[in-house]
């Protein structure tokens, strides 16, 4: 049985490809966010703020990282 709280509590995760010395973003699932919104936060500051991005903007961001267009930090 699922409780209402489980739907409101975000489950944060990083990509299985993240191995860059801690410079990662985390993405939330199981969050009561509107459809088409991707919550993200800094993996080094888990108690800090989270940003909500339109899903298409997040998809473009990920594509830019994968293609090397955005480079690395």
Q: pLDDT (tens digit, 9 = 90+) per residue, 30-47?
A: 666 677 888 888 888 888
CB atoms within 10 A of CB 27: 20
Burial class of residue 43, CB neighbours in 10 A (0-12, 13-18, 19+): middle
State residue 71's pLDDT score: 67
Q: Is the pLDDT score of 59 beyond 80?
A: yes
State the pLDDT confidence band at 57, using cuts at 50, 70 and 90. very high
Average pLDDT over residues 50-65: 89
pTM summary value: 0.67
Average pLDDT over residues 14-30: 73
């Amino acid at each position: 049985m699922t409780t209402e709280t489980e739907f409101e509590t975000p489950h944060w995760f990083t990509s299985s490809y993240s191995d860059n010395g801690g410079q990662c973003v985390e993405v939330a699932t199981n969050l009561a966010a509107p459809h088409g919104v991707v919550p993200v936060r800094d993996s080094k500051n888990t108690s800090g703020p989270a940003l909500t991005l339109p899903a298409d903007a997040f998809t473009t961001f990920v594509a830019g990282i994968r293609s090397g267009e955005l480079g690395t930090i």
